[in-house]
Structure 1
Amino acid sequence: MPIVQAPIGFSSREYWEAVWSGAARDAVAETTIITTAAAALMSLRKHGATSFDVICEEVTILWDVRVKRPS
């Protein structure tokens, strides 16, 4: 997996805050976040009840709406 460095002029924290808020897009980071969250949810659910792909779709929806929630 490639290492992502913050753009010049931004600290690492500023960059990741921008990814979280939606001000910056990082496809690799988003995929990592979504698949990790899906694996965590899958571990909490009854084994075999839902496929990993379906859970990834659910988590993608949650990721997409995260910036619409009041902070």
Structure 2
Amino acid sequence: MSENVKALTKHFKDVRQELRKVHWPNRRELTLFTSMVLMAIFFIGVFFWILDSGFAGILRIILQR
């Protein structure tokens, strides 16, 4: 049991050391990256909406014949 506790303790120490190495974004970077992601989601959504509408129109034409 004590080896499990030692292993768990070592794991959390390693996690803490790795988290110190992480470059955390500042407010400006966070705002910029968030807006970029939201714009990408919006444009991809519009793209698939147009694609879906086109396929629906084609299918409607095919099924009316």
Whether TM-score is above 0.5 comes out as: no
Q: Which has the higher contact order (CA 8 A, sep 6+)?
A: 1
Instruction: Name the structure where helix makes up a greater proportion of residues.
Output: 2
